[in-house]
Amino acid sequence: MRLSTRKGFALPIALGSMIVIGMILAGVFFAATQENRAGRNTLYQERAFRAAEFGLNYGYGRWDNSKMTQLANGAVTTITYDSSTKGWTSSLSVTRLNDNTYWLVSTGTAGSGVTQARHRTGVVLRVGYPNINFLAALTVKGQIKLGGSSYTTGQDTPPAGWNCPPAGTTRPGIATDDSSNIDMSGCTNLTCVDGSPKLLESPAVADTNTFFTYGSDANWATLTAAANLVFAGNTTITGTGPSYNADGSCNTLNVYNWGDPNRAVPSGVCENYFPIIYFKGTGTSTNISGGVGQGILLVDGDLIVNGGFMWYGPVIVRGHLSTQGTGGHFNGAVMAADVDFEQNSVLGNAVIDYSACAIQSAMVGAGIPKRVKQRAWAEMF
């Protein structure tokens, strides 16, 4: 008996199932791969965004007026932060738009090769400069004693070798709220004072805002908070001067480096360093002897100067000012608030020269960057 051929369906079903399962597995693998790529790309994109933001924040937080003020309007400088070992880098471009406005653009990059993300953000900063109202070469509240070989002049005196505009109008030599507070036993008829007028009596000297409010952008609190160098009171400082790193750059970490006011050819690398120096502690006494410096000098307590110390820029003393022996040479302007109503004394060979250029240079060097009030930040791509 011959058996007839019987066609089965198991094999086609098995083959079909294998194909379907293979397609499902291929789909799952493809979807998983895409999800992995999308997740990885999102990670890199977020990392690039954070790198861009790091560049902006680092540039803002470590703002260096001594470098940025050297840019011409429209000029650009680039700073690169290389963290490639961590998988990202950031490049910050700073463009000076005008005298006090800068545009910061940071490009963050993450990943490498074909898997790389880039993100760019920008911010506009406005540098606010203190606007200290110097009424005279020497502004003093309370009693003051003049004598010795001291000399105070309100004639605008540009420092030698500085790139200054022509001298401005002559200011008063001394400003006080009450001329009867001045002891001229060693300076008969104000022979040791020059200015227009020699002596200015003004109620503004009795106003604390004259000493502690500096325009809309700064006051005593913000200026001392922005100080580059902070010392405790009851301190004696001797022989300050410029300091340099091994590579020849200006060593701003040296607390006795107060800039370089002695302009030379070629230019010194510390010439553009104008630190804000703050001696804190009400009721304390600060002694400075010899050396040179430039910037803004702020003293909570009393300031005693001798040894021919030379300073370029504003000096504001909350206590009283005293010069002794060979005194000091101040180029800029000095204010003594005399909050304790002690007697100020300008004796010895002290010299106070009013200098608008030294004041302005120090103000620019002490600028405080702030984001503009509206639409400062932008995500560019």
Residue range 315-361, pLDDT digits in tens: 999 988 888 777 789 999 999 987 655 678 888 788 999 999 999 99
CA distance 291 to 237: 9
CA distance 353 to 334: 9
Per-residue pLDDT, averaged over 202-231, amounts to: 90
Is residue 13 situated within a structural domain? no
Structure tokens that stand for 31 in this block: 């979807």
Does one domain contain both 314 and 194?
A: yes
CA distance 131 to 273: 19
Does one domain contain both 258 and 124?
A: no
Domain count, the chain: 2
Is residue 37 situated within a structural domain? no
Is residue 103 situated within a structural domain? yes
The residue with tokens 């902070």 is 230
Classified as helix, coil or strand, 59 is helix
Structure tokens that stand for 205 in this block: 């000297």
Neighbours of 86 (CB within 10 A): 10
The helix or strand, by DSSP H or E, that contains position 43, with its residue range, turns out to be helix 10-61
CA distance 360 to 367: 11
Percentage of the chain exceeding pLDDT 70: 96
Does one domain contain both 118 and 198?
A: no
Mean pLDDT across the chain, nearest whole number?
Answer: 88
Is residue 151 situated within a structural domain? yes
How big, in percent rounded to 5, are the helix, strand and coil portions of the chain? Answer: 25, 35, 40
Backbone dihedral region for residue 250 (phi beyond 0: left; psi -120 to 50: alpha; all else: beta): beta
Does one domain contain both 160 and 73?
A: no
Per-residue pLDDT, averaged over 100-105, amounts to: 93
Does one domain contain both 88 and 216?
A: no
Going by C-alpha positions, the residue among 301, 303, 334, 302 that lies closest to residue 316 is: 334
Going by C-alpha positions, the residue among 80, 87, 83 that lies closest to residue 117 is: 87
Does one domain contain both 201 and 220?
A: yes
pLDDT at position 340, please? Answer: 58
Does one domain contain both 197 and 344?
A: yes
Is residue 39 situated within a structural domain? no
Classified as helix, coil or strand, 58 is helix
Does one domain contain both 115 and 219?
A: no
Does one domain contain both 143 and 217?
A: yes
What Cα–Cα distance (Å) separates residue 114 from each residue in 111, 119, 197, 378? 9, 16, 74, 27
Domain span including residue 64: 49-129+370-379
Is residue 241 situated within a structural domain? yes
Does one domain contain both 67 and 144?
A: no
Is residue 23 situated within a structural domain? no
Does one domain contain both 236 and 178?
A: yes
Is residue 16 situated within a structural domain? no
CA 263-267-271 angle, 5° bins? 60
Does one domain contain both 73 and 156?
A: no
Q: Is the pLDDT of residue 4 over 70?
A: no
